[in-house]
Chains A and B, each alone.
Chain A
Amino acid sequence: MIPALICVASVAAFVQFLVSYCRSAIAAFRRTEVSPRVREVAGMGNRGLAADDFARFLQLLHLCPEHNADQLKIRAVKTYYALLRVLEFVSRAFVPGVAAWAGRERLDCSHFAAVALDRRMEFSRDLFSRQAGIL
């Protein structure tokens, strides 16, 4: 009985700590605005950021040269986003509040990906300038 209780409580704590960890990683990017350059590249026009834009930003991220500083974070957020999609799909019919929360979290993931894309583009531009300088 006691091991079962410990197991359930530990799994619940694990999920909460893991979600908070992912949110803290995303929170660091929240203060940064999405630049007009990223909006243009992603073809967003004047519309606001959407939760489903994450996949588009991820595709564009893969086109940029890899920047080791953000690779681990992008993978973690990608996993978090996938979990949120499942949670949103499962809870939509039964617990709309949770589905709405998952949607808001996915929007934050999209914002994170947009800022990461902006940083990679900046990195690529620097790299190109330096190479042009050497040549």
Chain B
Amino acid sequence: MQGPVSYAIWMFVLLAECFFVVCALYRREFLRNLTLSSYMLLCLVGNVGVYVCSRAYGIHSAEYFYSYYSSDILLSVLMYFVIAGLFSQVFAGTQFSRYVRGASLILLGATALFAFISSYSAGQKISTQFAVELEQDLNFVGVVLMYVLWGAVTKLRESRLRLVQVILALGVYCSAVAATYALRNLFPNLEFSMLAWLPPITALWLPVAWSYTFMRVPESARFAPGHLLAAPQ
């Protein structure tokens, strides 16, 4: 993160996350959407922590490096809780609902183990390249899960507009982040040029899209799911 524009985007991300959390509390939807709201609250806390670190130690310090990537990796793992929550909402009332919780726990355990083994094997030499690769892998698993979830939504003909928009917004976010980190992995020289701007811009998308959905789409809103299934012939 460098330059006034990057800081401005960062501030917008903080404000958007703060707006989402405050709105959820004000509209008394925090507990009803506990996983989404908690995830956004933790994003906010993580961003504030990284900002404090950057002010205290500077953006070229090891402290900033570790705080930036460790909070990002932790949030990527926590995102699986959100995805698991969305899975249980989509499968609620079906015969698969009882398996979702077990599958989520196994997935979360496997992901945490993978992240731990990767970090452990890197030892003291955790580099930007390592962090980028780990983030890319974690987010790509998120994309695969979102794709499976989207398949379930279309198969079950889910008609709850708010839920569908929340899922799609998260799908856009996961795939954008995974693509960005894959690009950074492919072209490490571009890290401090245009690719440095993409993560904060994608981070801005999620709180804005979710805030919009929760503010403007009532929980009772339904739509014809067949419309989303129509594909080019």
A97 to B230, CA, bound (A): 12
Q: Kindly list chain B residues whose C-beta atoms are within 8 Å of the C-beta of A10.
A: 139-140, 143, 175-176, 178-179, 182
Q: Are the CB atoms of B228 and A23 closer together than 8 Å? A: yes
Q: Are the CB atoms of A13 and B223 closer together than 8 Å? A: no
Q: Kindly list chain B residues whose C-beta atoms are within 8 Å of the C-beta of A28.
A: 161, 217, 221, 223
B164 within 8 A of A: yes
Among A13, A18, A27, find the residue whose CB has the most chain B CB atoms closer than 10 A: A13
Question: B164-201: contact bitstring with A at CB < 8 Å (1 yes, 0 no)?
Answer: 11001101101110110011011000000000000000
B214 within 8 A of A: no
A102 to B221, CA, bound (A): 26
**Which A1-39 residues sit within 8 Å CB-CB of chain B?**
3-4, 6-7, 9-11, 13-14, 17-18, 20-21, 23-25, 27-28, 30-31
Q: Are the CB atoms of B223 and A24 closer together than 8 Å? A: yes
Contact A21 B183, CB 8 Å, known A6-B140, A9-B143: no
Q: Kindly list chain B residues whose C-beta atoms are within 8 Å of the C-beta of A97.
A: 232-233
Q: Kindly list chain B residues whose C-beta atoms are within 8 Å of the C-beta of A72.
A: 212
Query: CB < 8 Å: which of B140, B228, B233 contacts A27?
Result: B228
A28 to B171, CA, bound (A): 19
Question: B133-150: contact bitstring with A at CB < 8 Å (1 yes, 0 no)?
Answer: 100110110010011001
Q: Kindly list chain A residues whose C-beta atoms are within 8 Å of the C-beta of B147.
A: 13
**Which B188-226 residues sit within 8 Å CB-CB of chain A?**
209, 212, 216-217, 221, 223-224
B60 within 8 A of A: no
A104 to B227, CA, bound (A): 11
B62 within 8 A of A: no
Q: Are the CB atoms of B136 and A3 closer together than 8 Å? A: yes
Q: Kindly list chain A residues whose C-beta atoms are within 8 Å of the C-beta of B179.
A: 6-7, 10-11, 14
Contact A21 B165, CB 8 Å, known A6-B136, A13-B143, A13-B147: yes
A25 to B166, CA, bound (A): 12
Q: Kindly list chain B residues whose C-beta atoms are within 8 Å of the C-beta of A100.
A: 232-233
A69 within 8 A of B: yes
A101 within 8 A of B: yes
A11 to B227, CA, bound (A): 23
A4 to B187, CA, bound (A): 10
Q: Are the CB atoms of A69 and B185 closer together than 8 Å? A: no
Q: Are the CB atoms of B182 and A101 closer together than 8 Å? A: no
Sample (29) of A-B pairs whose CB atoms are under 8 Å apart: A3-B133, A3-B182, A4-B186, A6-B182, A7-B179, A7-B182, A7-B183, A10-B139, A13-B171, A13-B175, A13-B178, A17-B150, A17-B171, A20-B150, A21-B165, A21-B168, A21-B172, A23-B227, A23-B228, A24-B165, A27-B161, A27-B223, A28-B223, A30-B223, A31-B224, A73-B216, A95-B232, A97-B233, A101-B230
Interface set of B (CB-CB < 8 Å, partner A): 133, 136-137, 139-140, 143, 146-147, 150, 161, 164-165, 168-169, 171-172, 174-176, 178-179, 182-183, 185-186, 209, 212, 216-217, 221, 223-224, 227-228, 230-233
Give me 12 other A-B pairs in contact (C-beta within 8 A), A3-B133, A27-B228 excluded.
Answer: A3-B186, A10-B139, A10-B178, A17-B168, A20-B168, A20-B171, A20-B228, A21-B168, A27-B161, A28-B223, A30-B227, A31-B224
